[in-house]
């Protein structure tokens, strides 16, 4: 797959706070191919969401600043392009679905008006056409009595409905890339299954690329083509999902996989990775995972590992595999 649509290179986003510099994203690299679903996986605080927000420069500056790196969308560098150009890309070429529809929908605008607003920002289209499109999208998302929902306000809808409305909104301009930031985390499991079903349908029907952010490896397994495992603001392992699940190489990924409950084995306790995620103000020197790593070596404390290709399409940043 050489048809890359989005490429990040050494992306670094730091937050400048009074307590110090928070290195939330500290060198992230990945490619997104056309029609692919790329999952960003990692624990809370590993920089997944900040990465997603950095792609469209949505973080408030100050305190956040993208200090280094590139985000290439076609021949545009999203880190350096003008705000004007960026505004035209946001919502039109690259759309975003947020974690909590509850807070990501404006409480004082009706569902329909929020979808129509996005359409009108990017296309010369009459109010009636925009409304018709909003209605069609809501129906497509499986919202019952969409012609009534379109004029209601977010607080009247259930969590699942809000999430659907937000997905409808993100699709309103037929984006090439959809960034979904934990879209199933704030809803219960039945809704989660339905939302995933929507994403799977979208994948089947539309030529769209997805960046799917989650901490749930089960979701990755269900929906992803490739996965980027993140730790301490870096990508530590990138591979096709089947390889990540069956043949993880990085000790951290192995830890994550080991944490999954396994029905075939009968264990008393679930595995866990000892220790906590590193403090992003004082990242450990060398590999950020070394204090928790069962296989830590001397070099891990001194040198940040660079990615090694261990198989086709499978890169690991770990000294264990350095040639």
Asked if residue 30 lies in contact with residue 53, where contact means CB atoms within 8 angstroms, the answer is no
Part in contact with another protein (CB under 8 A); list of ranges 27-35, 115-123, 250-258, 295-303: 115-123
Restricting to residues 38-67, name those near another protein by CB under 8 A: 53, 56, 58, 60, 62
Q: Which of 12, 23, 48, 122 binds another protein (CB under 8 A)?
A: 122
Residue 93 or 225: the one with the smaller Cβ distance to another protein is 93
Residue 96 or 217: the one with the smaller Cβ distance to another protein is 96
Q: Which of 149, 165, 236, 245 binds another protein (CB under 8 A)?
A: 149
Q: Does residue 121 belong to the site contacting another protein (CB under 8 A)?
A: yes
Q: Does residue 106 belong to the site contacting another protein (CB under 8 A)?
A: yes
Residue 319: which residues within 8 A CB-CB, separation 6 or more?
Answer: 287, 297, 299, 300, 303, 305
Q: What is the Cβ-side half-sphere exposure of residue 189, based on CA atoms within 13 angstroms?
A: 2
Q: Which of 38, 39, 105, 138 binds another protein (CB under 8 A)?
A: 105
Q: Does residue 201 belong to the site contacting another protein (CB under 8 A)?
A: no
Question: 100: helix, coil or strand?
Answer: coil
Q: Comparing C-alpha atoms, which of 278, 290, 275 is closest to residue 233? A: 278
Q: Count the helix, strand and coil residues of the chain and give each as a percent rounded to the nearest 5.
A: 35, 25, 40
Asked if residue 284 lies in contact with residue 300, where contact means CB atoms within 8 angstroms, the answer is no
Q: Does residue 8 belong to the site contacting another protein (CB under 8 A)?
A: no
Q: Cα dihedral sign for 225, 47, 59, 168?
A: positive
Residues binding another protein (CB under 8 A): 53, 56, 58, 60, 62, 87-92, 95-96, 98-100, 103-109, 117-118, 121-122, 143-145, 148-149, 151-153, 155-158, 160-161, 166, 169, 190-191, 194
């Amino acid at each position: 797959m050489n048809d890359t649509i989005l490429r990040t290179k050494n992306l670094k986003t730091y937050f400048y706070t009074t307590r110090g510099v928070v290195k939330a994203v500290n060198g992230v690299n990945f490619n997104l191919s056309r029609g692919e679903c790329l999952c960003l996986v990692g624990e809370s605080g590993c920089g997944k969401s900040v990465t997603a927000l950095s792609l469209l420069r949505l973080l408030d500056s100050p305190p956040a600043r993208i200090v280094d790196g590139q985000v290439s969308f076609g021949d545009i560098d999203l880190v350096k392009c003008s705000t004007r150009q960026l505004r035209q890309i946001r919502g039109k070429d690259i759309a975003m679905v947020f974690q909590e529809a509850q807070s990501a929908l404006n409480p004082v605008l009706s569902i329909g008006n929020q979808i129509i607003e996005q359409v009108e920002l990017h296309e010369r289209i009459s109010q009636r056409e925009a409304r018709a499109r909003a209605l069609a999208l809501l129906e497509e998302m499986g919202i019952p009595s969409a012609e009534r929902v379109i004029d209601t306000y977010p607080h009247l809808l259930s969590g699942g409905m809000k999430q659907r409305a937000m997905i409808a909104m993100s699709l309103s301009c037929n984006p090439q890339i959809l960034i979904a930031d934990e879209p199933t985390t704030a809803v219960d499991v039945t809704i989660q299954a339905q939302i995933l079903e929507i994403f799977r349908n979208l994948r089947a029907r539309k030529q769209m690329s997805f960046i799917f952010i989650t901490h749930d490896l089960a979701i990755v397994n269900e929906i992803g083509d490739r996965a980027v495992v993140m730790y301490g603001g870096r990508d530590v392992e990138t591979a096709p999902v089947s390889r990540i699940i069956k043949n993880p190489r990085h000790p951290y990924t192995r830890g994550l996989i080991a944490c999954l409950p396994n029905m075939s084995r009968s264990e008393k306790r679930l595995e866990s990775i000892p220790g906590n995620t590193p403090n992003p103000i004082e990242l450990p020197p060398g590999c950020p995972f070394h204090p928790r790593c069962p296989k830590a070596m001397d070099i891990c404390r001194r040198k940040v590992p660079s990615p090694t290709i261990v198989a086709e399409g499978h890169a690991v940043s770990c000294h264990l595999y350095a040639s």
